[in-house]
Amino acid sequence: MKSPILQTATRYLLPILLLFSVFLLLRGHYYPGGGFVGGLVASIAFVLHSFANGTADTLKILRYQPISFIPIGLSLLVLSTVAPLLGGLPPMTALWFEQPVPVIGMIGSALFFDIGVYLVVIGVILTILFTIALD
């Protein structure tokens, strides 16, 4: 499936789609979006790239094995779940910084939770698809 048109298109589509996925991830708390959808969009970006240029090429761009995203994401999830325990609060209590951060807005533990979901979703989907594709 090597088509020069698709190959050229993905060169520009990949960063745009990734940016879009981050956009979805960050706005999730107020508008449609969130870690899960963001992760799906990011995975689609990579899958599209792999269709155009081959899985080996995509893995080179990724630099790390997609499976390594899973433990990082899960650790983020668990950390943001148990972090309130350190302050003597029940687990999963939402913690927020006082001041909003430019561009991103309010930052709280829910955002890290969402980033964890984002990473796990990318890791899971790319692991499954690329493993099957390489088989």
Partner 1 sequence: MLFTVLTGLITSSLLVPFGKFIRTKGSIILPFIPVLLFLFYVLHIPSVAVGTNFTQNIPWVPSLGANLDFRLDGLSLLFALLITGIGSAIFIYARSYLKGHPYFDRFFAYLLLFMSAMLGLVLSNNILILFVFWELTSISSFFLIGFNNDNSDSRKSALTALSITGLGGFFLLAGLIILGNISGTFIISELFSKRELILAHPLAPLATILLFVGAFTKSAQFPFHFWLPGAMKAPTPVSAYLHSATMVKAGIYLLARFTPILGGTDLWSYTLIIVGGFTMLYAAIHSLFRTDLKAILAYSTISALGILTFLLGLGSTEAIIAASVFIVVHALYKATLFMTTGIIDHEAHTRDISVLAGLRQVMLPVFIAGLLAALSSAGLPLTFGFIGKDLIYDAGLNQKDNLTTLWTSLAVLTNVCLVAAGFMAGIKPFVGQLPDTFSKIKLPSLALWLPPLTLAILGIFFGLFPHIAGEYLSQQTTNSILGYNTTVNLKIWHGFNTVLLLSVLTLVLGSIIYIFNKPSALKLARIERFNYLSPEFLTKKIGSAITQFSCWYTALIHDGYLRSYHFKIIIFAELLLGYKLWISGPINLDFNALTPLSWYEVGIIIMLIGALYIIVSTKSRLTSVVASSVIGYCISLLFVVYSAPDLALTQFTIDTLTTVLFVLVLYKLPAFLKLASNRILIRDAIVALGFGTILSLITLKILYEPNTIETSNFYGNNAYLLAKGKNVVNIILVDFRGIDTLFETVVLAVAALGVYSLIRLRMKASEKE
Number of helices followed by number of strands (H, E) in the chain: 5, 0
Q: Distance (Å, rounded) from C-alpha 42 to C-alpha 8? A: 18
Question: What number of chain residues touch partner 1 (CB under 8 A)?
Answer: 47
Q: How far is the CB of 5 from partner 1 (least distance, A)?
A: 19
Looking at 2-10, 56-64, 66-74, which segment touches partner 1 (CB under 8 A)? 66-74
Asked whether position 24 contacts partner 1 by CB under 8 A, the answer is yes
| 9 touching partner 1, by CB under 8 A | no
Q: Please tell me the chain's helix, strand, coil percentages from 3-state DSSP, rounded to the nearest 5.
A: 75, 5, 25
Query: Is the distance from CB of 130 to CB of 50 less than 8 angstroms?
Result: yes
Site string for partner 1, 102-131 (x = CB under 8 A): ----x-x-x--xx-xx--xx-xxx-xxx-x
Q: Which of 10, 28, 49, 58 binds partner 1 (CB under 8 A)?
A: 28
User: Please, which residue, 7 or 124, has the CB nearer to partner 1?
Assistant: 124
How far is 81 from 30, CA to CA, in rounded Å?
21
